Amino acid sequence: MSSPAETGDWERGRRRTGLLLVLPALAVLAAVVLYPIARTLLLSFQRAKLAPGGLQTEFAGLAQYRQMAGDEAFWLAVRHSAFFTIGEVLLVVVISLGAALLLHHPMGRSPVFRVILLIPWAIAPVANAILWKWIYNANYGVLNAVVTGLGLSERPVNWLGDPSLALRMLLLADVWKSVPFITLLLLAGLQNIPSYLYRAATVDGAGAWNRFRFVTLPGLRAPLMLAVVLQTIWSFKVFDLIFVLTKAGPADATLLLNFLAYRVSFNFLDFGYGAAIANAIFLIMLVLAILIVRGFAPRRSAGAQGKLA
Amino acid sequence: MHRARTMLSVPTNRRSILKGAAGAAGLAALGRRAPVRGVSAATGLSVLSPLAPDPAPPGVAEFAIPEFDAWKAANDVDVTYEAVAWPQLHDKMATNFASGTHVHDIMYNCGWVPEFAQFLTPMDAYLPADLVADLPPSSFSTVGWDGKKLGVVFSLSLLTLFYNTEHLELAGLKEPPKTWDELKGYAKELTRDGRSGWVLNYGAPEGIGGVASYWMTFLQQAGGTMYGADGMPVFNDAPGIDALSLMVEMMTNGSTDPGSLSYVGINDATNVLTAGNASMMMNWPFMWKPANDPESSQIVGKLGSAILPAGPVTSASIDGTDAWTIAATSAAPEKAAELIGFYLSPEVQKKQWLDTGWLPIRLSVLEDAEVQAAAPNAAVVLEQAKLPYDSFVTPDYNEVTQALGTEIQKALGGAKTPEEALKDASDQVTEIVKKRLG
C-alpha cells in the first residue's frame, strides 16, 4: 500500500506529464492566435509603412484611434455592419428555428432532408459567392428570370448595382449559407428536450403554441444563445461575399467593417490604421458576445432570491 | 544563388560547423541543386506570376515550353513559379514585402510599380539596347518612377473599342463610332431588343480596370489630365466634368447596360458582349481570342475592333501595364534580367499571342505578318498606341482610384451630379497626395 507522500509524488508527476503533453498544442495556439492578436494590438499604436527589410514603425499613441473616430468610411461601415448583423441574426435564427422544428417533426426526420439542408453549408465560401454572383446577375441571372417571368417586374432588377438593394441581397446570400449550421445546432437542442415535458404540458391542457412557448423555447435557451453569439460573430466578419460580389460597391454601399480593415491594410498599405480597425471589430464582437450571454442568462425570480437570502 | 550566399554568411563555431556538415550532406543528397565547391550550381529563380488565362509566362501558361526548357538548360537556371489568381497579386506582394524577407526574384506587376518602387531593382542597366529600341517608348511610362525604369512591359495591353459587327449592320451603321457624339448616338441606336448599346464593368472603383481608370480614358480624350506639374490633382475642370458627364449620360439614357454598376471584373462585362447582350465596350486586346472561341462565345466572327472614339481633343486610352520587375533583394538580378529577356524574345513573344491571346509588346513582332493575320486587332492596338495612353499611376494609385471611383459611382448612380462628384473626389485626392508628399 502506498503512503500519502508517494501518492502525492505520483499525482504531481501525472500533472507534470499532462502539462508537457499539452504544451505543444498550447505553443501552437500561442503562435497562431495570441501572437497575431498581440501584434495587431501593438501595430494599432504604431504608424507602419512598408520599407525595405519589413515594416517601418513609429509610435503613434492613440492617433489612429482618433483618426478612426473622424473617418466617414469607418462610421459608414459601422452602420452597414450593424444593419447586416442584426438583420442576419434575426433572419437566420428565425428561419433556422422553423427548419429545426420541421426536421424534428416525425414527418421531417428523413436523412434526405438533412443532406439537402447541408448543401449550402458544404459549399466553399468563394464558390458560394460565385454562385450568388450568377443568380444576381443583372443581365442573365436566375433571379431576374424568375422575377420577370412571374411578372413581378417588367425589367430586370439591378440587384447588386443598386445601392439601396445591394447590401440586402448580400444579406440574403449569407443567410442562405448560414441557416444549415444553426438549424443543426437548434435541432440538437430540440432533441435534448425530454418528451415527458411535452406530455405533461399536453395533460395540463397546453396547446401547440403554449407547448412551444413554455417548453420548447426555455429548453432551447442554451443552443439559442450559442446560435446568436456565433451568428453575430460570423455576420460581423463576413468578407468573402463582399470581395467576390461587390468589392464594397457600388459607391461603398456594401462596405462592411471587415472589408474596410482589409482595404486599408492591403490596398492602401496602411497597416497601423488597418490594425486599429481590426481591433475595433474585435472589441465590438467581444462586447456583443458578453451582452448576448448575459441577456440569455437565466434570471432568478424575486421569490427565489428571497428564499436564497 | 542567394541560398549559397546565405550559407557562407553563417558564423563559424563548433555548432555551425556541425550543422553545416549535416546541411552539406543533405544538399549533396539532393543532387544538382547542391552548391558543391568546384562544381557549377544551378541558379534558382523564383517568379511570382498570375495564373493563366491572365498574362502568364511559359511554364505557367501552355506556350513556348520547349524553348523554356532549352533556355533553362542552356543557362543552368532552375525556375520556380508561384502562380496566383490575378486579384491576389497585389496583396501577395504587399505581404511579402511587409515580412521583410526575400521571396521572389521576379514579380509580375501592373499599376503598382510606383507603389512598390523601393522594393524593385532599376532595370536600366539590364535592358539590351536592341530590346529597348523594339519597344514603344511610352511603354515605360507606367513602369518608371523617379526617372528609373523599374520594369519592362511584356504585352501591349491598351484599351480599344470592341463592337458586334452584326448589331451595327442590323442598325444600318456602316463603321464603328469615331467621336463621342457618334458613340452616344450609336449606343442609343443599338439599345434595342433587350440588348444594351454599351457595357463596361463600373462595379469596382479602384485600380487599372476599375471605373476610375475608365474615366481617365475619357478624361484624356477630352484633353484633361490627372495631375499638374506640382503633382497636385487638376482633374476637376471642364475636361474632367465632360468625361464624367459622358459616362453619366450614357448610363441615365439607358444605353449602358444597367448591370455595369454591378460588374466588378472585366470578365463580367466581356461575358455580356460575347453573349450578344450588348453591342459595344472598351476592352483589353486579350478579348479577341475568347470572343472568337465557339466554346465561350455567341459572337464568333462578329467581333470588330477600332480605336476608341475621340473626345473633344483626341482618341486616348490607358495602359494595362502587364510588366516584369526584379526584386531589390534578388541575389541574381543579372540572371533574372536574362529570364525576362527570354520572356521578351521575339519567338516567345510571337507564341505568347498565337497560343495565349496576349499581344506582344515588341514592335517587330506586332508587325509580323503571321501575328497580324491571327490578330486583326493588333494593328488597331498599334494605332491606339500612337495616341495618348497615360494610366496616371502613382505610389498611392489604389487609394486615389478608390476615392475617385467611389465618387464616379455616386454620379453614375444618380446620387451626385458630375460636378459635385468631381469636386468631392478632387478634395479627397488632394488630401491623399498631400499625405504622400508630406
pLDDT band, very low/low/confident/very high, at B22 (cuts 50, 70, 90): very low
Residue A171: its pLDDT value, please?
97
Least confident segment among A113-127, B194-208, B217-231? A113-127
| Closest by Cβ to B328, choosing from A52, A250, A266 | A52
Residue contact B94–A50, C-beta within 8 A: yes
CB B396 within 8 Å of CB B433 = yes
Residue A226: its pLDDT value, please?
93
Domain presence at residue A221: yes
Domain that holds residue A175: 64-70+87-298
Q: CATH number of the domain that A261 lies in?
A: 1.10.3720.10
Q: Is residue A251 over pLDDT 60?
A: yes
Cell of B226: 490627372
Q: Using a CB-CB distance cutoff of 8 angstroms, which residues of chain A are in contact with residue B438?
A: none
A67 close contact with B: CB closer than 8 A: no
B2-11+40-157+320-385: in CATH 3.30.300.90: no
Domain presence at residue A20: no
Beta bridge partners of B412: none
From the list B162, B165, B240, B158, the residue with the least C-alpha distance to B199 is B162
**Residue A205 DSSP class:** T
CA dihedral (B355, B359, B363, B367) in degrees, to 10, reads 60
Average confidence score pLDDT of chain A: 91
Residue contact B261–A268, C-beta within 8 A: no
Q: Which amino acid is at B360?
A: P
Cα separation, A63 vs A60, in Å, equals 6
In this prediction, what percent of chain B has a pLDDT beyond 90?
78
Cα separation, B366 vs B358, in Å, equals 11
pLDDT band, very low/low/confident/very high, at A1 (cuts 50, 70, 90): low
- Closest residue of B to A140, CA-based? B272
Residue B37: its pLDDT value, please?
43
* Interval A38-64 mean pLDDT: 93
Domain presence at residue A116: yes
Residue B361: its pLDDT value, please?
94
pLDDT band, very low/low/confident/very high, at A193 (cuts 50, 70, 90): very high
| Closest by Cβ to A158, choosing from B258, B396, B402 | B258
pLDDT band, very low/low/confident/very high, at A304 (cuts 50, 70, 90): very low
DSSP conformation letters of A60-122: -TTHHHHHHHT-HHHHHHHHHHHHHHHHHHHHHHHHHHHHHHHHHSGGG--HHHHHHHHHHHH
- Closest residue of A to B199, CA-based? A139
Least confident segment among A2-16, A67-81, A158-172, A213-227? A2-16
Nearest chain B Cα distance for residue A174, angstroms: 18
Q: Which amino acid is at B336?
A: A
Residue B313: its pLDDT value, please?
97
The residue assigned the cell 446570400 is A173
Q: Using a CB-CB distance cutoff of 8 angstroms, which residues of chain B are in contact with residue A140?
A: 275, 277
Q: Is residue A302 over pLDDT 60?
A: no
| Closest by Cβ to A138, choosing from B262, B328, B398 | B262
Residue B40: its pLDDT value, please?
56
CB B358 within 8 Å of CB B350 = no
Q: Is residue B414 over pLDDT 70?
A: yes
Residue contact A52–B99, C-beta within 8 A: no
* Interval A6-15 mean pLDDT: 88
Cα separation, B369 vs B72, in Å, equals 29
Interface predicted TM-score (ipTM): 0.85
- Closest residue of A to B116, CA-based? A50
| Closest by Cβ to A249, choosing from B268, B398, B409 | B409
A136 close contact with B: CB closer than 8 A: yes
pLDDT in tens, B351-387: 998 888 899 999 999 888 888 888 888 889 989 999 9
**How many residues are there in chain A?**
309
Average confidence score pLDDT of chain B: 90
pLDDT band, very low/low/confident/very high, at B8 (cuts 50, 70, 90): very low
Class of domain B160-318+396-437: alpha beta
pLDDT band, very low/low/confident/very high, at B217 (cuts 50, 70, 90): very high
Residue A109: its pLDDT value, please?
85
Q: Using a CB-CB distance cutoff of 8 angstroms, which residues of chain B are in contact with residue A246?
A: 203, 262, 264
Domains B2-11+40-157+320-385 and B160-318+396-437 share a fold: yes
Selected residue of B261, B281, B400, B436 to mutate for chain A interface (largest A Cβ count, 10 A): B261
pLDDT band, very low/low/confident/very high, at B26 (cuts 50, 70, 90): very low
**How many domains are contained in chain A?**
1
Nearest chain B Cα distance for residue A269, angstroms: 7
CB B296 within 8 Å of CB B73 = no
Residue contact B415–A138, C-beta within 8 A: no
Least confident segment among A64-78, A293-307, B100-114, B124-138? A293-307
How many Cβ pairs closer than 8 A exist between chain A and B?
102
Q: Which residues contact B391 (CB under 8 A, 6 or more apart)?
A: B111, B141, B142, B208, B213, B216, B318, B319, B321
Q: Is residue B34 over pLDDT 50?
A: no
Residue A139: its pLDDT value, please?
86
- CB burial of residue A308 (10 Å; 0-12, 13-18, 19+): exposed
Cα separation, A48 vs A51, in Å, equals 9
Domain presence at residue A75: no
Give the residue extent of every domain in chain B. Answer: 2-11+40-157+320-385, 160-318+396-437
